[in-house]
Chain A
């Protein structure tokens, strides 16, 4: 699969808008004093998440991040499901046990997410090893941020992936920050992937706010893995436009720097790309309106739905 074009691009744009609308709605609820459990904004990173996941088949797996609404949407998980898990309403995937941090849809290639950053690398290697042992051409894609990417399990999994020639792609989401620590305080040269070129595998740096660049890089990495070419690493340079989480005032973020990244916001940028390709403005307006309305309706419906029924006995071992 090559980089998307035409109507495919429009569909991806709609996903980006949908993800941003969800993010904005959560920010608005927080501003209004409402609880939005475990919400971690993914605003600003939509091109990287969606541009890469869109290159996958339903039978490929992703290991998404805690800012992973865009990854999940692009993999086909309905927004209503994500919102139901987030707000502990019926219709989610985990009965309020894992909330939005542990959305799973194994049938869509979303096995779940670990709770402490780092397990994801071995997990992705294991998912890829399963493809390899079965002899199918599935691929596992593991997204990670600055926190997980600084942990040793990445080294272990990469070594195993190269050793066993596994069909796995690691996508580093360099969004400038690890909570309130700058990427360059944590990784040499502020890059999360340069050291991995020592493994002799493709390590590609892309403009993570450029949907087409991300898609092209991912398509290359995934085709290579599918064809038995083994693992690779992609580092997408992007930016976390909102604070880490609700209690974070992000006062450590320099205003100018933030402003500069808002000017590189991937969504208006993608709209310009589509306009340059000849997409009519009113058609784009229509897509945006539809996506935003759908998100508003979904959130209203989910928040108006009954809470999931608790079963405190689930998982409790019988005392013999």
Chain B
């Protein structure tokens, strides 16, 4: 598969579209199916693919999530590599049975633990500007609990194409969750060679000694802003973007905390039962007998308002991360 990204690529949205197109061109068994994909999909990631590959490779479906995901399982069992677009990741809950009870468990319960089951599920998620409580959620925690699924959340123009390629190449059931704000991110293009992106590998975004910050998806952008502000306060942060929520690269976080002694997880999902809770638990277990200096900044347990300004005031931000980080660093210094 080609690893070049054309120069004209400017946004994550365009880079995902071109990566998907390249992958489909390289393997005729890859088919894209979902709602509105004929006209480019919910977010334009499928733009041009119908014209390029035709109706037998880009399959426009009725709004029938249970039927579509069941069909994706059938296609994968028949030697195809389905890429299924979910119109909005919140709708994955309509088809959680097919994903969690069937696609995730299939190989194990049918005695084929090493077999490939190349079902890639991708779609947009996350809060933008008042899309309301059922088109804004961060969906990774809802599926994090399920063995047998990989979950990947790209965060930059640099890593999105590499992660999509790695997710496709793994040929395992994967949720590839694209944050609506991340689509708009720009950059200089994907570096050559592409960054390592295999399932379960985190990226150390910046090196620091005072605090380990973990953030992914859109929160990585907020975290980078927070790190810059914290640097002005004399706090150097080690920023880790796990990129893969499952399998999760706990080792990279643990190694970082071994150095910094402090941990902050910045997460857009609801705080209760979020990914941050598990990260704190795992890191705590990695340092038996030591009290962990750690906290989470996340969405409070309230539903997303339709009113954009009200929503904006609830979502976790760089400023929230800065306040929490300073509290962690200063409280400990004072104690």
- Which A residues form the contact surface with B (CB < 8 A)? 92-95, 97-98, 102, 104, 106, 111-112, 114-116, 118-131, 133-134, 140, 152-153, 156-157, 159-160, 163, 314-320
Q: In whole angstroms, what is the CA distance A123 to B66 when docked? A: 10
Q: B267-307 vs A: 1/0 string, CB under 8 Å?
A: 00000000000000000000000000000000000000000
User: Are A104 and B111 in touch, CB under 8 angstroms?
Assistant: yes
User: Are A320 and B249 in touch, CB under 8 angstroms?
Assistant: yes
A119-B66, A122-B67 are contacts. A97–B111 as well, Cβ < 8 Å?
Answer: yes
User: Are A156 and B64 in touch, CB under 8 angstroms?
Assistant: yes
Residue from A98, A118, A129 within 8 A of B97 (CB atoms): A118
A130-B78, A160-B61 are contacts. A122–B108 as well, Cβ < 8 Å?
Answer: no
User: Are A122 and B110 in touch, CB under 8 angstroms?
Assistant: no
User: Are A152 and B73 in touch, CB under 8 angstroms?
Assistant: no
User: Are B74 and A156 in touch, CB under 8 angstroms?
Assistant: no
A122-B70, A129-B71 are contacts. A315–B148 as well, Cβ < 8 Å?
Answer: yes
Q: B63-99 vs A: 1/0 string, CB under 8 Å?
A: 0111111111111111110100000000000000110
Q: In whole angstroms, what is the CA distance A319 to B248 when docked? A: 8
A114-B101, A125-B74, A126-B72 are contacts. A315–B66 as well, Cβ < 8 Å?
Answer: no
User: Are A123 and B110 in touch, CB under 8 angstroms?
Assistant: no
Chain B neighbourhood of A131, CB < 8 A: 78
8 residue pairs of the A-B complex, CB under 8 angstroms, read A111-B77, A112-B106, A119-B70, A122-B98, A126-B74, A130-B75, A157-B67, A320-B250
Q: In whole angstroms, what is the CA distance A314 to B109 when docked? A: 10
User: Are A94 and B111 in touch, CB under 8 angstroms?
Assistant: yes
User: Are A319 and B80 in touch, CB under 8 angstroms?
Assistant: no
Residue from B66, B77, B106, B111 within 8 A of A153 (CB atoms): B66
Q: Within 8 Å of chain A (Cβ to Cβ): is B62? A: yes
Q: In whole angstroms, what is the CA distance A92 to B113 when docked? A: 15
User: Are A126 and B66 in touch, CB under 8 angstroms?
Assistant: no
Q: In whole angstroms, what is the CA distance A102 to B102 when docked? A: 11
Q: Shortest CB–CB separation between residue B199 and chain A, in angstroms? A: 10
Q: Within 8 Å of chain A (Cβ to Cβ): is B335? A: no
Q: In whole angstroms, what is the CA distance A173 to B217 when docked? A: 48
Chain B neighbourhood of A116, CB < 8 A: 97, 101-102
